[in-house]
Each structure stands twice: as structure tokens, then as C-alpha cells.
Amino acid sequence: MTEPGEGSSHGRIDDKQLVILLKQKTGISDAQARRLIKAVGRDRPSLLREARIIRARAQASAPGRV
């Protein structure tokens, strides 16, 4: 099975599919993914990089984390 956007014609995926991809790959929320797409654009490598940063910051600031 392919990831959202993989194998699609011309490699273009819509924002909904990008949200799903970001959630699956990085664990950020729908709202975070939508805000990120709006801020960064649709470049997948940039989105994934920024989503991983968001996730790491959230984990670092979560109460009870060591």
C-alpha cells in the first residue's frame, strides 16, 4: 500500500492528504498540520521537518517526561 500522495498522478496531493501524511509520519494533530501547511506551503520535506520539530518540542515540554 502506498502513502497518501505516493503513486498519484503528477505527485500532487491535496491538503487533506497532506494532513493525513503529517499525522501518520509525525504524530502532530490535524490543527497543527493545517496551520503548518498554511505557514510553510506544500513542500513535503519542509512540512515533515517542521512537523518533527513541533512534535519534539511538544514531547520535551509535556509534564512527567524525563
Residue pLDDT tens, the chain, 66 long: 444 444 444 568 899 999 999 999 999 999 999 999 999 999 999 999 999 999 999 999 987 755
27: nearest Cα among 2, 3, 55: 55
Long-range contacts of 41-47 (CB under 8 A, 24+ apart): 42/15, 42/18, 44/5, 44/18, 47/18, 47/22
Report pTM: 0.75
The predicted pLDDT at position 12 comes to: 81
